[in-house]
Structure 1
Amino acid sequence: MADFAGLAGVFLAVFISHFIPFIPLPGYLAAIEYASLHRDLVTLFLTAVVTALAASLGKLVVFAYGYGIGKAVAGKELEYAKRLFQKISKFGIDVAVFVFAISPLADDVLYIPLGVAGYDIRRFFLAVFAGKFVLASIIVALGRAVSAAVEAVVGDTLLSVVVMAAITVAFTVLVLRVKWSEVLRAYEEGGARRAAVALLRSMFRRG
């Protein structure tokens, strides 16, 4: 069954890693490690929910940074921005927020401007939570599956946790090395295949 103290630790780690803008921290590591120690579906589901909620609340803080800046600097222009959002397709913006939430893109570059412009906070939170829940579910499921495979090979739960931690840290470092500007440029010029090549090159580049 779920260890609520452990889930609280996951929540805290993920929340802290998400409310600091533009500084990616491996908060999902806590969720992966917790999931690797449990097998029942209820606990894994709760882990995904807690992870998504913590990440979403962290991004809500980032959104609030933007809103505070907009209120202090933009003044009356903030009201015009709100009117603009009322006229354009909110669905399109929600989809963009969802896509950024589910992907490894630097989502703060979208969320802070939306906060500055006074975008509807409820729509923002729901879109972020939906994206983060999908991402958290994938992370928890893959983390548990890989952990089970590692445990089957090494035959020791504690050792499998250590191996999983090492794998997660290594993958996090690789993701942090990605030059998303180059990946985007490659996608615009040659589609998904060229973007995938650019992604791998930036991950394994020297220096």
Structure 2
Amino acid sequence: MFENIGSLVSQYGLWGVFLASFIGNAIPYSAVPYVAFILAYSATLNITNELAIAIAGGGGATLGKVLIFLVSNLGGKKASKESKENVELFLSLIRKKYFGFIIIVLFALTPLPDDVIYVPLGIAGYKFLSFLVGVFIGKFLLVLIVSILGKGAYSVIEFSLNSNLIVPGMILLVVVTFYLILMIFYLDWKKVIVVFSEKGFFAATSEFLKEMLLILTFRHENLRKRLFKKK
């Protein structure tokens, strides 16, 4: 597999890195083949211009995530008025002290399954420019680190690609994303904010966990109204 990747990269060069990064990130919950392209380009071909690789790979990866974000955003525009008001409260929370932006950068920079966060943020209507900048910073740094590591990370990526846990892992990520979307739209953020202002952090955390449990068990009042509303 890695020999084939090396031959493709040698033929297309930086464009191969860009396209592989775009495709690898435009497919929701995909594994890490684009990282293998980058490793092949930096290790197999002994390329020393890590900055060029980081720009090509980071740019392609960012465009792929932007595509997922925009498609998710279209789905969020069909939400009911009540859901949109609740989502606005959620967005107001994650915008404080750049919390949402930091989360975006961290998920882009690390091997964390970023679509689990990016899809719900797109549906919620998170600010596009902040998302774009955050993803590019994270992906640029990720590709830069990977290109510098080169052969040192080769065996790790090979194990990831050959693992039998890829498909179950993807299914798990889809389920987690689904529940995060439900949380953003139907958790009573107003109640959590009120409890926080009146009783403090620990009481608000307790209330948040109670709300989460109700959503996970499909017993939350807001969710039940949506599921069983009369047409």
Residues 65 and 141 of structure 1, relative CA distance in 2, 3 Å threshold: same
* Counterpart among 22, 29, 39 of residue 36 in structure 2: 29
Q: Distance in 2 between matches of 1:105 and 1:74?
A: 31
Task: Indicate the residue corresponding to 1:125 in structure 2.
Answer: 132
Q: Percent identity?
A: 31
Secondary structure, counterpart of 1:89 in structure 2 = helix
Q: What CA deviation, in whole Å up to 9, does each residue of 1:48-71 have, x standing for no partner? A: 111111111111111112101101
- Bigger radius of gyration among the two: 2
Q: Distance in 1 between matches of 2:108 and 2:17?
A: 18
Shift of 1:78: 3.5
Aligned residues between the structures = 159
Q: Distance in 1 between matches of 2:41 and 2:27?
A: 23
Q: Distance in 1 between matches of 2:90 and 2:160?
A: 40
CA contact (8 A) 2:62 2:135 kept: yes
Shift of 1:4: 9.9
Residues 18 and 39 of structure 1, relative CA distance in 2, 3 Å threshold: closer
Task: Indicate the residue corresponding to 1:153 in structure 2.
Answer: none
Secondary structure, counterpart of 1:24 in structure 2 = coil
Task: Indicate the residue corresponding to 2:157 in structure 1.
Answer: 168
Q: What CA deviation, in whole Å up to 9, does each residue of 1:138-172 have, x standing for no partner? A: 100001x549xxxxxxxxxxxxxxxx5x7632244
Task: Indicate the residue corresponding to 2:194 in structure 1.
Answer: none
Output aligned runs, 1:59-70, within 5 Å.
59-70=65-76
CA contact (8 A) 2:73 2:123 kept: yes
Task: Indicate the residue corresponding to 2:107 in structure 1.
Answer: 100
Task: Indicate the residue corresponding to 2:7 in structure 1.
Answer: none
Task: Indicate the residue corresponding to 2:216 in structure 1.
Answer: none
Output aligned runs, 1:14-163, within 5 Å.
14-36=21-43, 37-40=45-48, 43-74=49-80, 77-78=83-84, 81-82=87-88, 84-86=90-92, 88-89=95-96, 91-143=98-150, 146=152
CA contact (8 A) 2:41 2:47 kept: no
Q: Distance in 1 between matches of 2:79 and 2:11?
A: 42
Residue type of the partner of 2:159?
A
Residue type of the partner of 1:70?
G
CA RMSD of aligned residues (A): 3.1
Task: Indicate the residue corresponding to 1:160 in structure 2.
Answer: none
Unmatched segments (≥5 aa) in structure 1: 148-163, 182-207
CA contact (8 A) 2:38 2:53 kept: yes
Q: Distance in 1 between matches of 2:99 and 2:58?
A: 22
Secondary structure, counterpart of 1:27 in structure 2 = helix
TM-score (structure 2 length as normaliser): 0.59
TM-score (structure 1 length as normaliser): 0.65
